[in-house]
Every structure is written in structure tokens, then in C-alpha cells.
Amino acid sequence: MNSNGKNSAFAKLQEYDRRSANFAPGGKGGEGSADEWSGVTFGLGAARLACNIDRIAEILPCPQSTPVPGAKNWIVGLANVRGELLTVIDLGRFLTGVRTPITASSRVLAASLNRAPIGLLIDEVYGQRHFLDSEATAAELPEDSPLREVVSKQHQLGSETWHELDLDRLFNSAEFLNGSAH
């Protein structure tokens, strides 16, 4: 290859680098719509939920945790994740009172509450899906569903219905903020 070929290939790589640095999903020049967002989809009991991927710092296998004396039964404990203490919450037990069984599929969704790391124990992560806010509808949940407190919207993707978990509503609920058993 001559020097002109090398220069043009290098220029092409520089152009790709510049374009990727300026790319914003849903923004101008992006392929997605402005109301498109990506969600982590997961199971919690029989429920199929989605949470905005921007709110999830990482998805972990269930880490070993140390119980916290005097805490509510839905607080699994504290886990050391790369030198940082993560409070692990059994989301199913918090919402329904039924303990989430820990299996090979169980995962912890790591997020943060006022800069404090919080891990939500869930049954299984299904993957990532893309949603449009403009296509969301009001959540259709039974009157007695414990999800009513933390879900207000749902998204239909083909034959699948995904309820959108609102972490702000969850993290700001008085019960969630009061983890003391006393």
C-alpha cells in the first residue's frame, strides 16, 4: 500500500473517531428518536420490568454480604464490591414480603441513592431493550399489586409488556428510606 493509501485509511479512522465522539443517542444525527431510551430488562417474580440503563451503574452476580443488625428483613446486608460498600436490598421482599430466592440467574442491579451505592437483588436480567416514551401507556396493574407504588408506565414491545420501574419513586418512598427494624 502506498503512503496515500495509508493516509486515507488513517483519515477515515480519524473521521470515525470524530463522529463517534459527537454521537448522542436520540440526538441530531443519531438514528434514534429524541424520546428513545435504553432499559435493562429483568424479572422479579412473575413481573417483567425495565429500568433506564442510565440509572444502573453495573449488573453483578449476587455478592456475598454481611447482615446488618437491626435492619428490616428486606435489607440483605452490606457487600464489599471492589472496596466500596454496597447495601443490598431484596427488591422482591421489599415490595411483596416474599424473599427472592438466590439462584445462578439472580443478579444485583447497582445504582445509587444520594451517592450511596444501592444494589437491588432481582431474579434475572433478560438484557437490554429500547423504548419510546411517546409509546408508553399507563401501567395496567391489579389494584392490590405492590408494583403500583413504583411503576406508573408500561411499554409494549411485540407481545411483551415491560413495566417501567421508577427508581426515583422507589428510592424516595418513606418505607425504603427507613431501613431500621425499630
- CATH number of 149's domain: 2.40.50.180
42 falls within a domain: yes
For residue 5, list its beta bridge partners.
none
- Helix or strand (DSSP H, E) at 169: helix 167-171
Query: 39 near 52, Cβ under 8 Å?
Result: yes
Q: How many domains does the chain have?
A: 1
77 falls within a domain: yes
Summarize the confidence of residues 105-126 as an average pLDDT.
95
Q: Taking the C-alpha atoms of 38, 42, 44 and 48 in order, what is their torsion angle to the nearest 10 degrees?
A: 70
9 falls within a domain: no
Q: Which residue has the higher pLDDT, 180 or 138?
A: 138
Count of CB atoms within 10 A of residue 67's CB? Answer: 10
18 falls within a domain: no
Q: Which pLDDT tens digit goes with each residue over 129-144? A: 999 999 999 999 999 9
